[in-house]
A and B are shown apart, each in its own frame.
Chain A
Amino acid sequence: MTANGSQTVSTADSSGARSDAAMTDNAPLGSPRVDDAVIESRDLDVFYGDDQALHGINMDIPEHKVTALIGPSGCGKSTFLRSINRMNDLIDIARVDGDLYFHGKNIYDDDVDPVALRRKIGMVFQKPNPFPKSIFDNVAYGLRVQGKDDDVEEQVHTALERAAILDEVEDQLDSSGLDLSGGQQQRLCIARAIAPDPEVILMDEPASALDPVATSKIEDLVEELAEEYTVIIVTHNMQQAARISDKTAVFLTGGHLVEFDDTSKIFENPESDRVEDYITGKFG
């Protein structure tokens, strides 16, 4: 991989999606304005120290859909995901330029409380990370922190049910979350994330540490979750993106969003040659 920023521009240019190459530097191809966008990214740059991890990301993420972020390692897809709920704030050297709107409010405005934001935008991580607490307390944690624990028993049950793990753990709610298998732990983490009823769920390669059976359970779950939540999922598994997502964003080459469109369009007839190369496995 020797591609760099200038090649990105020329690729964008040659594909002819936009007429003015100078104005559309890094703009994704075929990026439609979405009317029901819940998250709108505008010229979002993210830096880690002197390294720029994301370059001018523009993206409208629709409500109640599954949006997949795909691309090779180090392409910035996880960085973008973490900038949506401001988890990057926790990294001292991370810095964000540009705007990211959640329901029209720029979450990088000074008056935005990242803690309040994260209560609206839940997250599931790459490796299952249950707390060393009981299964029940794991799921109840978000409810308690957010003061939504009026009827915690029922809410925990509902969340476990929605995360398709209730049947497996119903009799052992008091045992440690760490005693579960990896796939169960990840569904427990999903239950924990959805228990406080966020609007958006961010998933950072949630199945990458799991076996195929556990992975397929997570995939089924993601599709169901999209009925009630907006799901944004990072994956480096293209088949997974093709199976479960409605929209797909392809990140390439050190933090550029190259193409963002309906998943069927991306996988069947991408605008960009480089996306096609990536999808068909010629690189990355």
Chain B
Amino acid sequence: MSSESFDLTREESDVGGFGDRLARYVFFSCALVTVLTTLAIIVVLVNGAIDFFAEVSLVEYFTSTEWDAINETSFGIWPLIWGTMLITVGSAVVALPVGTLTAIYLSEYADPRVRRTVKPILEILAGVPTIVYGFFALSFITPILQTLFPGTGTFNAAAGAIVVGIMIIPMVSSLSEDAMSSVPDSLRNAAYGLGATKFEVSTQVVLPASLSGVLAAYILAISRAIGETMAVTLAAGMLPQITTNPLAEIQTMTAYMVQVGTGDIAVGTVGYQSLFAVGLTLFVMTLSMNIFSEWVRARYREEYQ
């Protein structure tokens, strides 16, 4: 070691100088952009919605079962919520079982080589533009449904639900697989040591132990299905109605917003302002789901040593 002494005072040293402090502000500004954007979105939505509810009563909005805001005749949100729910529940029925079983396969059964190949492929599925899924529904799923059920319309809720379900499978399987892989091997060994089979270890030990992560994945995927737009606009149609027939045309909240946003409704009219009310409703729904997902994850997390 040299006998030279090091100067540790801030003024004299080059360490952590101006560049370092500048970096901090650059990073902070970038983080700020996303926060400000979110705030701006909320302000815009709330402002527009306030204008809308100045014309239309909240009571009508939440009690009427008719929606025809474009012609400014009826403003009951339920047909749109119903359409969104049909798609959401239908897609969950498709995606949750398939996604969970895929995750169990990848986490517990698949050879590490297979896992390293299949997981990225699944994640590529998540990167396909949603409009492509919409065309896939229109040109492939709907014709099959029409063959099976002759009364099926060109636009129908079932095709939308199925294609959104396919779309969110990677989200369910990938996040669930992450949760399952993080279950410590000591638990698997404990079960194997008691003479459990691989199936029993997977379903009775790994799945319950990773439940918080798996449920969080479910909720995030469902939240994604609620907010999904292009695929359902293309596949499920634009007819707001409360129907229990999955083969009938419906309209989701998102599809309605596309219709208004791309249509020729004059800015400032009640029809135009309905866009903000529906948008705010949708925002509150998905935000609640995401918060709920975080709560579930925190509430049901098991702490392992």
Q: Mark A residues whose CB is within 8 Å of B.
A: 85, 87, 90, 92, 115-116, 118-119, 122-123, 125, 127-133, 141-142, 145-146, 178, 189, 192-193, 196
Chain B hits for A116, CB < 8 A: 195
Chain A hits for B190, CB < 8 A: 125, 129-131, 189, 192
Q: Mark B residues whose CB is within 8 Å of A.
A: 112, 184, 186-197, 200, 204-205, 208-209, 302-305
Given contacts A129-B190, A133-B208, A145-B196, 12 further A-B contacts (CB under 8 A): A87-B192, A92-B112, A127-B186, A128-B305, A131-B187, A131-B209, A132-B187, A132-B302, A145-B191, A145-B200, A146-B195, A178-B304
Shortest distance in angstroms between B208's beta carbon and chain A's nearest beta carbon? 7
Chain B hits for A125, CB < 8 A: 186, 189-190, 193
Q: Do residues B187 and A115 form an inter-chain contact, with CB atoms below 8 A?
A: no
Q: Do residues A115 and B193 form an inter-chain contact, with CB atoms below 8 A?
A: no
A215 to B193 CA separation, bound complex (whole angstroms): 22
Chain B hits for A196, CB < 8 A: 194-195
Shortest distance in angstroms between B242's beta carbon and chain A's nearest beta carbon? 43
Q: A129-B187, A131-B187, A132-B302 are in contact. Are A193 and B208 (CB under 8 A)?
A: no
Q: Do residues A141 and B194 form an inter-chain contact, with CB atoms below 8 A?
A: yes
Shortest distance in angstroms between B197's beta carbon and chain A's nearest beta carbon? 5
Shortest distance in angstroms between B238's beta carbon and chain A's nearest beta carbon? 48
Shortest distance in angstroms between A249's beta carbon and chain B's nearest beta carbon? 21
A118 to B189 CA separation, bound complex (whole angstroms): 11
Chain B hits for A192, CB < 8 A: 190, 194
Q: Do residues A145 and B195 form an inter-chain contact, with CB atoms below 8 A?
A: yes
Shortest distance in angstroms between B165's beta carbon and chain A's nearest beta carbon? 30
**Taking chain B's interface residues, is the majority helix, strand, or loop, or is none over half, making it mixed?**
helix
Chain A hits for B186, CB < 8 A: 125, 127, 129
Sample (30) of A-B pairs whose CB atoms are under 8 Å apart: A85-B193, A87-B189, A90-B188, A90-B189, A90-B192, A92-B112, A115-B196, A115-B197, A118-B194, A119-B194, A123-B193, A125-B189, A125-B190, A127-B186, A128-B305, A129-B184, A129-B186, A129-B190, A130-B190, A131-B187, A132-B302, A132-B304, A133-B208, A141-B196, A142-B195, A145-B191, A145-B196, A145-B200, A145-B204, A146-B194
Q: A127-B186, A129-B186 are in contact. Are A118 and B208 (CB under 8 A)?
A: no
Chain B hits for A146, CB < 8 A: 194-195
Taking a contact as CB atoms closer than 8 A, the residue among A127, A132, A141 that contacts B191 in the complex is A141
Q: Do residues B189 and A142 form an inter-chain contact, with CB atoms below 8 A?
A: no
Chain A hits for B188, CB < 8 A: 90
Nearest A-chain residue to B302, judged by Cβ: A132
A128 to B188 CA separation, bound complex (whole angstroms): 13
A127 to B304 CA separation, bound complex (whole angstroms): 11
Q: Do residues B194 and A193 form an inter-chain contact, with CB atoms below 8 A?
A: yes
A118 to B193 CA separation, bound complex (whole angstroms): 6
Q: Do residues B192 and A142 form an inter-chain contact, with CB atoms below 8 A?
A: no
Most central of A116, A119, A131, A178 by chain B CB within 10 Å: A131
A133 to B200 CA separation, bound complex (whole angstroms): 15
Q: A127-B305, A178-B302, A178-B303 are in contact. Are A193 and B193 (CB under 8 A)?
A: yes
Q: Do residues B196 and A129 form an inter-chain contact, with CB atoms below 8 A?
A: no
Shortest distance in angstroms between B214's beta carbon and chain A's nearest beta carbon? 14
Shortest distance in angstroms between B180's beta carbon and chain A's nearest beta carbon? 14
Q: Do residues B195 and A115 form an inter-chain contact, with CB atoms below 8 A?
A: yes
Shortest distance in angstroms between B229's beta carbon and chain A's nearest beta carbon? 39
A193 to B195 CA separation, bound complex (whole angstroms): 10
Most central of A130, A133, A142, A145 by chain B CB within 10 Å: A145
Nearest A-chain residue to B197, judged by Cβ: A115
A178 to B305 CA separation, bound complex (whole angstroms): 9
A131 to B210 CA separation, bound complex (whole angstroms): 12
Nearest A-chain residue to B305, judged by Cβ: A127
Nearest B-chain residue to A145, judged by Cβ: B196
Shortest distance in angstroms between B190's beta carbon and chain A's nearest beta carbon? 5
Q: Do residues B194 and A122 form an inter-chain contact, with CB atoms below 8 A?
A: yes
Shortest distance in angstroms between A86's beta carbon and chain B's nearest beta carbon? 9
Nearest A-chain residue to B201, judged by Cβ: A145
Shortest distance in angstroms between A178's beta carbon and chain B's nearest beta carbon? 7
Shortest distance in angstroms between A238's beta carbon and chain B's nearest beta carbon? 26
Chain B hits for A128, CB < 8 A: 305
Chain B hits for A132, CB < 8 A: 187, 208-209, 302, 304
Q: A125-B189, A129-B189 are in contact. Are A142 and B194 (CB under 8 A)?
A: yes
A118 to B186 CA separation, bound complex (whole angstroms): 16
